[in-house]
Amino acid sequence: MSTDSVPRKTLHAHLFKCLYTELKKEFFKKEWASESVEVGTQFALWKKRDSDGELTVYRLFGVRHKFFYDRNSEAEAGQNITLKVEILCKILLYLDCRGETVRAMLDAFYVKGQVPVETIALQAELEKSRQYADVLDVAPDQHFTAEKIHQKTFNNYTINIVNGAQDAQSDIERLLYQFYEEVATATDAGYERAWTMLSTSFKNRIWMPKDTGSAQGPTEKEGLALSKFKNGYYFFRSLRETHVFNVKVYPTIAYAMVYYEEELELPYVEELADINKIAIKNVASLVEKVSTLRGIVEGFGGTGFADKAFIRLFYPTATETLWFEHGMNPVAFKAAFPATSTTNVARLLRCKCTRENDRWFIDSLVPLHCRAI
């Protein structure tokens, strides 16, 4: 095989540094467990030899002792790192990040290595560029072909995939990308199309009006629920950098991680401004602000503020959670607080999908991380 035909994978500099940090820790734990060595930036860590005198790093990965140290130095200087797929797979397997493809193995590393969402987004952007348009869905053994029959086993349930036929993972990815594309339109028509992608159970749990004994019919209830769903995007302005990854599919259920960045135009509430910067010595001021916020919520007919998780007041989207989580009218809320500020945030969510009548629907969107950008 010529050098040019060897499969390679390019990692963003930030991602390689994450990988190097985890590899260094694992190598020290496994290979130096019974010996004393200082783990620093020195390449001496990689000079460990087996009992027969062979370099351990060569036996494991087929590289010289300065290979990883030199690549990390390049990454520290801001250079993206290109590795042979064979070497990358050996690293990921050594870190116990397993999968049927290089893509799946990397997704496993994102979770295991607690890779920051910003780094994941940088890697996804890199993979879009033509300069680094290498194949991610090749099998680790390099013998995979689109025509090869292979199997995916989920909880002893096996799905056979022949000749590259569209599988459930593609369906999940398409569903989630399409959902956020519709939301990004910020139009009634877009929200209505996004609504059809949610499971009946999800709609009932979050948006459907509770049975209060009124004579509302199913159509009227559905209309009220859809209006509540649309209102959830009242302060939404734009969406970008959507990435779906780490998709795990089972017979009737699936999970995926979703990252995106959005712009919100939120009312300015003085009591929330810099609330996360209050020092412990000024805790009385914090109590006063929270008491005032409770009055604001209840003054607009909101409920449940006393049971709110305290940390949610520190979120960059705290103003949004005030009205939406407590049943306040967003129009009246904005009228009372006409001054607004633009807020850009990065979000990471865990999505659950369910299969109903041979079609996948979104069944939950659980926020895991939100930070200002």
Q: Is the pLDDT of residue 20 over 90?
A: yes
Give the mean model confidence (pLDDT) for residues 26-49.
Answer: 72
Give the mean model confidence (pLDDT) for residues 80-98.
Answer: 90
Q: Is the pLDDT of residue 4 over 70?
A: no
Identify whether the C-beta of residue 10 lies closer than 8 Å to the C-beta of residue 71.
no
Reported as a pLDDT band with limits 50, 70 and 90, residue 151 is very low
| Tokens standing for residue 361 | 């629907």
The alpha-carbon radius of gyration of the chain (Å, integer) is 25
Q: Can you say whether the dihedral through the CA atoms of 85, 91, 94, 97 is positive or negative?
A: negative
Q: Rounded to an integer, what distance in angstroms lies between the CA atom of residue 10 and that of residue 7?
A: 10
pLDDT given at position 133:
45
Q: Is the pLDDT of residue 184 over 70?
A: yes
| Tokens standing for residue 273 | 């401004």
Query: What is the four-CA torsion angle of 309, 310, 314, 315, rounded to 10 degrees?
Result: 0
Instruction: For the chain, list the domains and their CATH numbers.
Output: 3-144 (no CATH), 168-265+343-372 (3.10.450.50), 269-338 (no CATH)
Reported as a pLDDT band with limits 50, 70 and 90, residue 158 is very low
Identify whether the C-beta of residue 326 lies closer than 8 Å to the C-beta of residue 304.
yes
Q: Rounded to an integer, what distance in angstroms lies between the CA atom of residue 354 and that of residue 76?
A: 42
pLDDT given at position 221:
81
User: Residue 360 pairs with which residues in a beta bridge?
Assistant: 355
- Range with the poorest average pLDDT among 123-137, 268-282, 333-347: 123-137
- Range with the poorest average pLDDT among 150-154, 204-208, 237-241, 362-366: 150-154
pLDDT given at position 150:
31
Q: Is the pLDDT of residue 152 over 50?
A: no
Q: Strand, helix or coil at 121?
A: helix
pLDDT given at position 211:
64
Q: Is the pLDDT of residue 326 over 70?
A: yes
pLDDT given at position 94:
92
Give the mean model confidence (pLDDT) for residues 336-351.
Answer: 86
E strands present in 179-329: 236-249, 253-267
Q: Rounded to an integer, what distance in angstroms lies between the CA atom of residue 207 and that of residue 209?
A: 6
Identify whether the C-beta of residue 137 lies closer than 8 Å to the C-beta of residue 103.
yes
Q: Is the pLDDT of residue 142 over 60?
A: no
